[in-house]
């Protein structure tokens, strides 16, 4: 079969590393092998090295393909002498075929003869489990016949301990037993492994007796055969969610506790769904609730987990059942129903701001809402975006291509300057901007508290209100990434058979995506500034951020996209008093805030997320700008931008100043 062999050369300099690579190519050429193996030399920078290694690591992390291959571990870590690898692999494939199994992928460290595999054992039938045992025994016989090892670099664990006598022989395993009995005479430590092991087919995670609880869910799980149980079974435990250098999983990165990782949560949900689960009360179980409590619903796992575990959705599902018929905590009403509160406040924004920002009312409001005392509540704008939009005179682009600008709660009631900037940019790019008639909301804050019935009703209202534009194929620009994510992710998961829902998901764009795809011929203004760019987690998970990069390139910015993970605010999460506030701040202080504090005063800070901007204002002396505002800055000020530092001060709004506690 075909294979990729990756040979990495290091050296004191790039030239040194290249020279070593060239010497290998020459040697292959002399041996007449170069053409046959198709060897090529690539010179990689740091970024490309990381990408190439991700492909190699994908051999493991992508070995499970839901609905295609379960990627089971068990027989995954053998080693033989490197020169015997080819013969061993051919014989191993024969053993796999004889047992009617399929390998998801072969990967490993060929230079050391260590080979990893993932197989599709069938643990759902007694016959399948018997076949598993027979295969394990035959494979152990094979590797030991090559003088190899059952485990090349990892432990033998439960899966292979029973087979150790095949490799070491009974005398040596007897000596292990004797040695252990000196130190652990009652065999209390790690029982059932190595010495007197449990059978390799005992304690299987899935076995023929496995059945799951029936449950009527709010989400439809179209990618999991309509089953929450299947969704909870996605995780296969490779632990990419314990990476400290990824977006996934901020709560683990901060707490370093397994139960606060995606994997820990997925495992608990899987156990919860077993009919014979020791976790009592299923969707009312307090331990499961506790493990989900610190999930920021950032969707980092949806984007980065190789099997796309979508913990934000599972959490919302769990909470909707957990709170059924119960009163929710006060934060759920204060923060989850922000849309209705904002509508009310828009009638008297000065009074609302007085009550939420003047002492002692501010402290009382925060305490009543369960908001951390250290936080400033967002301030209401004196005029909403939709009021501004309705008050404009003139036709503003009628006759040009129509685009619907989605007035989300945050950019409508709190920071209308962002939506105003987007309107000006889109019109300058030659589009006719419209906004929906009436008051519509995607319901994003409701998901954090499992208020899914209400969320579904809002989605039906959105589809009704936008029907003509949906049918006309009008593109929708969602400025707030988390609201755009509702249309692309939650909407089709809630209403999978609804064609309008599918259309709206397809027609929704971030501003960056829209300009990259629909405004290629727009002569974009230039802005020759430096910028640090932070992408919102939902933006990374559900949109094409390459489009944003292409817009920044056209704009002429000298920018760097930060690899700093989740900002930690995550909607209402970081506003909540107590452990959530603590985790929120620790997540931001891990990488993001230190990176921003190191930026020069004339460097622009950019992020599209309302949460991210709020967290940056809370944790630094700076304010970040939405892409729409940066484009507007380029339109209004020209390539040099504003003549003051930091540049965002030229665009500070009254509401922004009130919310950040700083003077505009």
Distance CA 83, CA 261 (A): 40
When the beta carbons of 249 and 420 are compared against ligand SF4, the nearer one is: 249
Which parts of 210-249 interact with ligand SF4 (CB under 6 A)? 235-241, 248-249
- Selection from 121, 76, 74 nearest residue 102 by Cα: 121
Phi, psi of 643 (to 5 degrees): -90, 15
We find the least distance from the C-beta atom of residue 514 to ligand SF4, in angstroms, to be 26
Q: Which two tokens stand for residue 258?
A: 């397994």
We find the least distance from the C-beta atom of residue 236 to ligand SF4, in angstroms, to be 5
When the beta carbons of 423 and 584 are compared against ligand SF4, the nearer one is: 584
Binder of ligand SF4 out of 78, 149, 229, 262 (CB under 6 A): 262
Binding part of the chain for ligand SF4, among 26-34, 194-202, 300-308, 606-614 by CB under 6 A, reads 300-308
- Alpha helices by DSSP H, 558-609: 579-590, 592-597
Per the CB < 8 A criterion, the answer to whether 148 and 77 are in contact is no
Binder of ligand SF4 out of 74, 152, 300, 571 (CB under 6 A): 300
Binder of ligand SF4 out of 79, 115, 288, 311 (CB under 6 A): 311
When the beta carbons of 63 and 428 are compared against ligand SF4, the nearer one is: 63
Distance CA 562, CA 541 (A): 15
Distance CA 269, CA 572 (A): 23
Is 297 near ligand SF4 (CB under 6 A)? yes
We find the least distance from the C-beta atom of residue 296 to ligand SF4, in angstroms, to be 4
The answer to whether the Cα torsion of 226, 227, 231, 233 is positive or negative is negative
We find the least distance from the C-beta atom of residue 254 to ligand SF4, in angstroms, to be 10
Binding part of the chain for ligand SF4, among 8-16, 262-270, 342-350, 652-660 by CB under 6 A, reads 262-270
- Lay out the sheet containing 431-434: strands in order across: 431-434, 401-406, 476-478, 508-509
Is 263 near ligand SF4 (CB under 6 A)? yes
**H or E, element range at 50:** helix 46-61
When the beta carbons of 77 and 412 are compared against ligand SF4, the nearer one is: 77
Per the CB < 8 A criterion, the answer to whether 411 and 480 are in contact is yes
When the beta carbons of 140 and 232 are compared against ligand SF4, the nearer one is: 232
State the Rg of the chain over Cα. 29
Which parts of 266-295 interact with ligand SF4 (CB under 6 A)? 266, 295
- Selection from 207, 218, 88, 64 nearest residue 142 by Cα: 88
Is 251 near ligand SF4 (CB under 6 A)? yes
Q: Which two tokens stand for residue 534?
A: 């932070």
When the beta carbons of 266 and 403 are compared against ligand SF4, the nearer one is: 266
We find the least distance from the C-beta atom of residue 463 to ligand SF4, in angstroms, to be 26
We find the least distance from the C-beta atom of residue 295 to ligand SF4, in angstroms, to be 3
Is 250 near ligand SF4 (CB under 6 A)? yes
Q: Which two tokens stand for residue 436?
A: 């929906």
Per the CB < 8 A criterion, the answer to whether 434 and 468 are in contact is no
When the beta carbons of 56 and 649 are compared against ligand SF4, the nearer one is: 56
Q: Cα torsion for 587, 592, 598, 601, to the nearest 10°? A: -120
The residues that touch ligand SF4, with contacts defined as CB under 6 A, are 235-241, 248-251, 262-263, 265-266, 295-301, 305-307, 309, 311-312
């Amino acid at each position: 079969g075909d294979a990729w062999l990756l040979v990495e050369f290091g050296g004191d300099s790039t030239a040194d590393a290249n020279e070593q690579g060239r010497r290998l190519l020459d040697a292959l050429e002399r041996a007449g092998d170069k053409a046959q193996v198709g060897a090529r030399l690539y010179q990689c920078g740091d970024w490309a090295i990381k990408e190439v290694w991700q492909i190699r690591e994908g051999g493991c992390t992508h070995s499970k393909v839901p609905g295609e291959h379960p990627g089971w571990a068990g027989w995954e870590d053998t080693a033989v002498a490197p020169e015997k690898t080819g013969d061993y692999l051919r014989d191993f494939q024969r053993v796999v075929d004889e047992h009617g199994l399929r390998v998801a992928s072969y990967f490993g460290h060929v230079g050391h003869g260590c080979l990893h595999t993932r197989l599709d054992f069938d643990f759902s039938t007694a016959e399948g489990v018997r076949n598993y045992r027979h295969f394990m025994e035959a494979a152990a016989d094979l590797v030991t016949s090559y003088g190899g090892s059952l485990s090349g670099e990892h432990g033998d664990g439960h899966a292979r301990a029973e087979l150790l006598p095949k490799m070491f022989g009974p005398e040596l395993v007897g000596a292990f037993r004797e040695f252990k009995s000196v130190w652990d005479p009652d065999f209390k430590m790690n029982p059932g492994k190595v010495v007197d092991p449990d059978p390799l087919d005992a304690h299987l995670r899935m076995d023929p007796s496995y059945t799951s609880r029936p449950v009527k869910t709010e989400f439809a799980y179209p990618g999991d055969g309509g089953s929450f149980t299947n969704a909870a079974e996605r995780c296969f435990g490779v632990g990419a969610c314990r990476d400290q250098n990824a977006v996934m999983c901020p709560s683990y990165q901060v707490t370093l506790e397994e139960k606060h990782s995606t994997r820990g949560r997925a495992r608990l949900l899987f156990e919860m769904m077993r009919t014979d689960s020791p976790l009592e009360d299923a969707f009312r179980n307090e331990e499961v609730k506790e493990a989900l409590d610190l999930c920021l619903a950032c969707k980092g796992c949806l984007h980065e987990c190789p099997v796309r575990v979508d913990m934000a959705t599972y959490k919302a599902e769990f909470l909707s059942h957990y709170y059924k018929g119960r009163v929710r905590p006060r934060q759920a009403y204060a923060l989850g129903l922000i849309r209705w509160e904002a509508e009310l406040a828009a009638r008297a924004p000065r009074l609302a701001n007085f009550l939420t920002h003047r002492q002692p009312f501010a402290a009382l409001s925060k305490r009543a809402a369960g908001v951390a005392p250290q936080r400033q509540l967002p301030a209401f704008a004196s005029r909403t975006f939709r009021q501004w939009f309705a008050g404009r005179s003139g036709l503003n682009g009628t006759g040009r291509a129509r685009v619907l600008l989605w007035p989300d709660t945050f950019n409508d009631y709190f920071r209308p300057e962002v939506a105003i900037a987007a309107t000006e940019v889109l019109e300058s790019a030659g589009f006719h901007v419209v906004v929906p008639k009436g008051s519509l909301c995607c319901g994003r804050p409701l998901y954090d508290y499992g208020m899914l019935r209400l969320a579904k009703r809002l989605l039906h209202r959105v589809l009704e209100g936008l029907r003509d534009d949906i049918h006309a194929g009008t593109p929708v620009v969602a400025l707030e990434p988390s609201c755009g994510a509702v249309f692309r992710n939650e909407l089709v998961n809630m209403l999978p058979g609804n064609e309008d829902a599918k259309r709206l998901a397809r027609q929704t764009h971030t501003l960056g995506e829209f300009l990259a795809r629909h405004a290629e011929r727009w002569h974009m203004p230039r802005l020759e500034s430096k910028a640090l760019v932070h992408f919102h987690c939902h933006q990374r998970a559900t949109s094409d951020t390459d489009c944003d990069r292409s817009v920044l390139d056209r704009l002429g910015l000298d920018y760097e996209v930060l690899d700093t993970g989740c900002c930690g605010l995550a909607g209402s999460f970081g506003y909540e008093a107590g452990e959530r506030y603590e985790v929120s701040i620790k997540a931001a202080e891990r990488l993001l805030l230190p990176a921003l504090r190191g930026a020069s005063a004339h460097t622009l800070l950019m992020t599209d997320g309302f949460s991210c901007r709020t967290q940056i204002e809370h944790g630094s002396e700076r304010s970040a700008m939405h892409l729409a505002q940066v484009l507007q800055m380029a339109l209004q000020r020209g390539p040099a931008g504003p003549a003051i530092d930091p540049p965002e001060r030229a665009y500070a709004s009254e509401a922004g100043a009130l919310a950040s506690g700083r003077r505009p």
